[in-house]
Amino acid sequence: MRRSRKVKILATLGPASSSEDMIKKLFEAGADAFRINMSHTDHPLMRELVGRIRAVEARLGRPIGILADLQGPKLRVGKFANGKEALEIGQAFTLDDNAEQLGNSERVYLPHPEILASVQPGHRLLIDDGKLELKAVKCDGKSIVCTVVAGNKISDRKGVSLPDTDLPVGALTEKDRADLDAALAAGVDWIALSFIQRPEDLAEARKIARGRALILSKIEKPQAVARLPEIIELSDALMVARGDLGVEMPLEAVPGIQKQITRAARRAGKPVVIATQMLESMISAPVPTRAEVSDVATAVFEGADAVMLSAESAAGEYPVEAVATMNRIAIQIEQDPNYAGIINAQRSEPEATGADAISLASRQIAETLKLSAIISYTSSGTTGLRAARERPQVPIIALSPVVQTARRLSLVWGTHCVVTEDATDLDDMVDRACRIAYEEGFGRPGDRVIITAGVPLGTPGATNMLRIAYVGAEGRGGA
């Protein structure tokens, strides 16, 4: 099943899309990988979803990626005697460590001693996704006396965001550790870490994963944006999580940050996913707004590796239509006359490695000679990533003997992944590449393709060879 676009679609599974039949429909509509939100999924259901995805994968014969999105630390206020309270702008309101008393219009229990110890006068506290803004005026480690800056109500268990405060806690909670172990045991391909603040937050997850899954860092806090280069270096991929990012930073700053993260990830050759509210109105409507179409188009023009659907596919009334709509938008944008010029203008200089030099050369040769495809043999996925970093105009076929590698590359721009045995020699390498290009619809007899690989064959990370070959009759290869 060949896609007619290069950007990938990541669809979230949920109540509206948890059956095997619906997962198959979503894949056929355009979804390349699926997200399981561990905030709303227990371990038995997670295992069932993984099993259903793998069943669809076997039925369709195409590798499908699975991302388990960990909840991360959820910070919430306690409960109120009346369930909710009305507040006035300018009044004092206190968050404290008094667990014995229910909240009122003057105070509420905050069950997070790390917040009480870390917030300083002048720091902002955003309640209920920013609907209520407080500013700390007095802090003693046991309570935070605040002034109400914006908003007029608060209620039980609302979330707390701290855009100005660096909390001395890791990104993994006890729930996250249990979820991570369960997801790894189930064989997911990607783990998404929520609410990371610093590069060190990645260390524990990496130690637990031990290469069994790749780590995707969700950028949704100002502290993470401030240390973006370090976080990119330690991450396998990034997500621009615009929901919480738009709570903790000014809304008008989010589009610029999205571009900053996307371009930084492209320079580093790391996949980047754009997420949150991309087709939000399709939760309850069969068509999106014009603004949403433009939002998806911006991400595609920017060269993002993947665009994500959240509630649209997980709990909406039109999950298949949402995926199909995103698919159509991406195809149309990639055919736009301005697309190639915008993508090319953002291209970075290659790093001083053999793999990057080979990837650059293969793109230039393929575009100069108008070849049908770039075919990359890749065991670890690195060669496929370097080929995608160049954003070539021609398709990339990633051939791997490792099914986990093919699944992981389902989030990577432009890669059409095929699981195949490793070539035995150079002649077999050419024949196998040309035959697969022919069978997958990327080359007809007489077309030329360019093949990249590492010699000796099967050596991970040793891309050092490229070869131009003709697709012969019935897909046989010829130099």
In the block, residue with structure tokens 């490695």: 353
Range of the domain at 110: 84-161
Same domain, 234 and 325: yes
C-alpha distances out from residue 132 to 119, 126, 152, 358, Å = 17, 6, 7, 53
The CATH number of the domain holding residue 150 is: 2.40.33.10
Into how many domains does the chain fold? Answer: 3
Residue 121 belongs to some domain of the structure: yes
Does a structural domain hold residue 403? yes
Choose, from 12, 41, 276, 378, the residue flagged as catalytic.
276
Same domain (yes/no): 50, 186:
yes
Same domain, 386 and 311: no
Residue 42, pLDDT score: 97
Q: Is residue 256 part of a domain?
A: yes
Written as tens digits, the pLDDT of the chain (479 aa) is: 799 999 999 999 999 999 999 999 999 999 999 999 999 999 999 999 999 999 999 999 999 999 999 999 989 999 999 999 999 999 999 999 999 999 999 999 999 999 999 999 999 999 999 999 999 999 999 999 999 999 999 999 999 999 999 998 888 999 999 999 999 999 999 999 999 999 999 999 999 999 999 999 999 999 999 999 999 999 999 999 999 999 999 999 999 999 999 999 999 999 999 999 999 999 999 999 999 999 999 999 999 999 999 999 999 999 999 999 999 999 999 999 999 999 999 888 888 888 889 999 999 999 999 999 999 999 999 999 999 999 999 999 999 999 999 999 999 999 999 999 988 888 999 999 999 999 999 999 999 999 998 877 766 667 888 999 999 876 666 65
Residues whose CB falls within 8 Å of the CB of residue 419, separated by 6 or more in sequence, listed in order: 63, 400, 401, 402, 403, 406
- Catalytic pick among 47, 76, 259, 476: 76
Residue 42 placed within a domain:
yes
Task: Examine residue 345 and state whether it is found in any structural domain, yes or no.
Answer: no
**Residues 252 and 325 placed together within one structural domain of the fold:** yes
Annotation says 289 is catalytic:
no
Within-domain flag for 78: no
Among 161, 185, 210, the domain boundary falls at 161
Do 463 and 358 sit in the same domain of this protein?
Answer: yes
User: Does 403 share its domain with 314?
Assistant: no
Q: Which of 107, 124, 158, 218 is catalytic?
A: 218
Structure confidence at residue 458 (pLDDT): 66
Indicate whether 98 and 46 sit together in one domain.
no
Catalytic entry in 6, 35, 52, 124: 35
Same domain, 210 and 287: yes
CATH code (residue 393): 3.40.1380.20
Please give the Cα distance from 394 to 370 (Å, whole number).
8
Based on the fold, state whether residues 322 and 248 are members of the same structural domain: yes
- Return all residues near 123 (Cβ < 8 A) that are at least 6 apart: 135, 136, 162, 164, 165
Quick check: is 267 catalytic?
A: no
| Number of residues in the chain | 479
Task: Please indicate whether residue 408 is annotated as part of the active site.
Answer: no
188 shares a domain with 39: yes
Out of 134, 161, 188, pick the residue that ends a domain: 161
Any domain includes 63: yes
Quick check: is 79 in a domain? no
E strand residue ranges, 60-159: 65-69, 84-86, 92-96, 107-109, 124-127, 132-139, 143-150, 153-155
In a shared domain, residues 47 and 193: yes
218 in active site: yes
Residues 210 and 333 in one domain: yes
Among candidate residues 279, 307, 337, the one where a domain is terminated = 337
**What was the pLDDT predicted at 477?**
66
- Residue 455 has what pLDDT? 78
Distance CA 220, CA 73 (A): 13
